[in-house]
Structure 1
């Protein structure tokens, strides 16, 4: 099993990493797969002797978060034996190959593939799941585990809430939209799932499902449909009326409208009004300020490109995110 798993990993590495940011096969192992395989066996044996974990002695069908997180934590430890071994072998090659950009990424993709296969078996496949998870990690800064959870929230919300209680199948509706040539003009239909789900009364589940839906809608708009929002002059009186007509049940007294601004209240039909909590507003502000390009007259402001440039470097990424969050925190609601 160990040798077979090493071969599987090498095949994945060559297809996904060699020449695309990593060149271990060419530069460190003379473009010799057998040498690469032998060295991986040796590295894994030393890792096992140092930490008690044989990295390749596992059924890939049983890969889980605990196994991945355990490896990640061991790699961070200053184990004297493995630290010395790591320095002697290519000045850190074992650690790099087993790290988050190589073997750990491979394990995450294996786990993601298994979850997709489970969805296929249960006929609940999330369109563009792999791309959605990558979007959350690379563009939104989520951990791999959190990104996978968000994808699961969308599927679970559709199955356990929308289809069950509201007879609305979000995934079927979405698939129809994506097949429709006019989908860009009907993208607001994606909000149907969210507005239906907000009527669900389990607060803990609703919070998770709502977060998943918001992120998935952002992903579909930005990455798949490439919807651009160009800012023009806005008639705020008309805009405010549209918001009130859409989300605030009528008729309401002035006092009730003020109360609505702080919490969700029951309408005459017993449904819940939409609650825009601080976390949701902050996430939406951040997404709009970092991904949606602007057009003012003849001036084009490519915000999405600016973000991608900052995200090329880890420290620049931290600076960019801190700057945007700082600006959002300074916004005053009048």
Structure 2
């Protein structure tokens, strides 16, 4: 019996902010490699997630939400997303059901579709959050978007519920070229541990701080000491083993923002640190000593040198 054809390639997740691209990446990989928040523009860099199965390998690239960019940080995020779309084999254009009674494409989605027309890559329409969409509205929504763009496939899913995600993987695979594995089977992401740690801390800033703070906050890990990481002999499997010492700074743009993150008697910073430490321990499988401080870097999100200093380049 002849063996099945093995396929492999790259697929980019493209779309407006908050449509569920990062949730979808985490569901596809089975691991939390992209932080998730209800606040727009949570993802700031491209994030690679590799899914390897007996029939093929897909390297998915999560990208920042595309929006009307104002300021250096926003322009950086939008260009990061559009550049990713140019470099892959396949684009997954992720949307969510529109809020009104009558379905509409909307100016933000139309702007993205115009850019995708110029990129000329095979593109899927991935309709996320179908658990919140009445079935009677699904077909009109598909027809509306098909009239705007020649999609290769349309795949309705619910990333949060896992509904349709496996089918999406299989359909993506069918459209990729024949080829060997691009990455080792064990590889899940190209994100370094200290990068993931900084993102896990920023996730707690997004979660706990009020509206204006998250967009002005960035996290830099300054110490990642693994000298005590090796587990002690006799440590039961599955238990946290060893110790990793981490020191990180949360950067904001104004003194008033620093005061908010620190909170009354340091309570907000303590809450952020406690929740971040728990998540980091699960990630690293070791006990974590986490030290956080808050620094002010005026207008960092508006200056190229500020972006470079905080790792956005």
State the TM-score bracket (shorter-chain normalisation). under 0.3
Larger RCO: Structure 1 or Structure 2 (Cα < 8 Å, ≥ 6 residues apart)?
A: 2
More strand by share: 2
Pair member with larger Rg: 1
Bigger helix share: 1
